[in-house]
């Protein structure tokens, strides 16, 4: 059976929904005077069957459009697509766009195509990249059901082996940062994660708990909504450093904005960073590089990671085998002032 023969048609939708072809067309295109219940039933059936009426999107299955889409999942939970002091997403998207051009494709940034009311154009691409999918991510489910090739950057925490993914080594990175903090003199290290249900937060927590157990240290974990930014980190410093009975002398904040705020809050309380308190961030950013003191951070290499993801997706689109075990971008630790006590050598910032 050919691919075209297996593709659902408007007749299939009409038969399943118990309506005419005209009603299906009007319901899916917002035309005519059709009851809300009928519209909902038709759209549900079309979605279940994987029917796509949009002429451009339908063409995806018949010929190459030369477009790949990019969904940056963390931006769905932030209040802006350009959070102040964060350049990871800009660097990732820019690198992905240039890498796509090298392969003769254009890059289209999209919001979550699984959201109610999402424009149908969000599925009008040859393939898709999904950066930092969340737990049981509905976008991955939709792309898989629509048979649109995709590559995730980071795994779905509930389905780590179900989809093609660039598996970032977050647990390994967590050990790298915690080992550095300990070697720099910290004895009681706290972890501050975000609240998004992605593998970055989940695996950092798991790595921290493993590391703490290996070093006979009771875990000290706090969570902060990613949208709280620098102010959230400042408030967390006041909370954690006020606990006299279990006060940390080292803190690992996953986001750069939280780390920057934590340093500011600690200084407000009279702490000397790094003499009294060591602070590191799990994501390098403008704010960590320009903070005073500058903050030791993990460079997750968004430029290289984006290119690797695009290359992998293009291989899928061209029917080539992909060795996912080799898709392992290695993060680098940029050691800066926040973990370099006076009298110790300072590594050149990355």
Q: For residue 161, give the CATH number of its domain.
A: 3.40.50.2300
Q: What is the mean pLDDT of each run of 10 residues along the chain (350 residues)?
A: 54 87 77 81 85 55 79 85 85 96 94 87 91 95 94 94 90 97 97 96 97 97 95 96 88 97 97 97 96 96 94 92 77 97 59
User: In this structure, are 195 and 143 located in the same domain?
Assistant: no
Q: How far does Cα 228 stand from its chain's mean position?
A: 17
User: In this structure, are 215 and 335 located in the same domain?
Assistant: yes
Residue-level pLDDT at 122: 84
Taking the C-alpha atoms of residue 50 and residue 45, their distance in angstroms, rounded to an integer, is: 8
Query: Token pair for residue 166?
Result: 């660039």
**pTM here?**
0.80
* 324 belongs to a structural domain: no
Encode 23-47 in three state secondary structure. Answer: HHHHHHHCCCCCCHHHHHHHHHHHH
Radius of gyration of the chain (CA): 24
Query: Phi/psi at 278 (nearest 5 deg)?
Result: -100, 135
Tell me the residue range of the domain where 4 lies: 1-53
Q: How far does Cα 246 stand from its chain's mean position?
A: 32
- The 8-class DSSP code of residue 282 comes to S
Supply angle C-alpha 93, 99, 105, rounded to 5. Answer: 100
* 232 belongs to a structural domain: yes
User: In this structure, are 122 and 25 located in the same domain?
Assistant: no
Residue-level pLDDT at 31: 67
Residue-level pLDDT at 230: 96
Query: Token pair for residue 3?
Result: 């691919």
């Amino acid at each position: 059976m050919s691919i075209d023969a297996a593709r659902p048609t408007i007749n299939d939708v009409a038969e399943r929904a118990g309506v005419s072809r005209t009603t299906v067309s009007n319901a899916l295109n917002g035309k005519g005077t059709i009851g809300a219940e009928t519209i909902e039933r038709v759209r549900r059936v079309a979605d279940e069957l994987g029917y796509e009426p949009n002429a451009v999107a339908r063409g995806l299955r018949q010929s190459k459009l030369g477009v790949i889409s990019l969904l940056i999942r963390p931006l769905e939970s932030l209040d802006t697509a350009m959070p102040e002091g964060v350049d990871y997403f800009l660097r990732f998207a820019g690198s992905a766009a240039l890498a796509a051009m090298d392969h003769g494709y254009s890059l289209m940034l999209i919001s979550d195509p699984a959201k109610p009311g999402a424009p149908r154009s969000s599925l009008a691409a040859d393939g898709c990249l999904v950066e930092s999918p969340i737990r049981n991510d509905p976008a991955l489910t939709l792309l898989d059901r629509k048979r649109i090739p995709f590559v995730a950057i980071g795994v779905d925490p509930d389905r780590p082996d179900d989809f093609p993914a660039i598996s970032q080594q977050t647990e390994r990175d967590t050990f790298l940062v915690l080992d550095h903090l300990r070697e720099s003199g910290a004895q009681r290290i706290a972890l501050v994660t975000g609240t998004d249900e992605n593998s970055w937060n989940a695996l950092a927590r798991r790595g921290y708990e493993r590391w703490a157990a290996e070093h006979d240290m009771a875990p000290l974990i706090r969570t902060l909504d990613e949208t709280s930014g620098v102010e959230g980190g400042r408030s967390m410093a006041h909370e954690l450093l006020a606990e006299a009975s279990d006060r940390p002398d080292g803190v690992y904040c996953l986001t750069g904005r939280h780390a920057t705020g934590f340093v500011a809050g600690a200084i407000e309380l009279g702490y000397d960073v790094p003499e009294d308190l060591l602070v590191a961030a799990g994501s390098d950013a403008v704010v960590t590089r320009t903070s005073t003191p500058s903050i030791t951070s993990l460079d997750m290499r968004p430029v290289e990671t984006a290119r690797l993801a695009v290359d992998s997706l293009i291989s899928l689109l061209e029917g080539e085998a992909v060795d996912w075990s080799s898709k392992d971008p290695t993060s680098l630790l940029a050691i800066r002032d926040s973990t370099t006590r006076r009298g110790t050598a300072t590594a050149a910032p990355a």
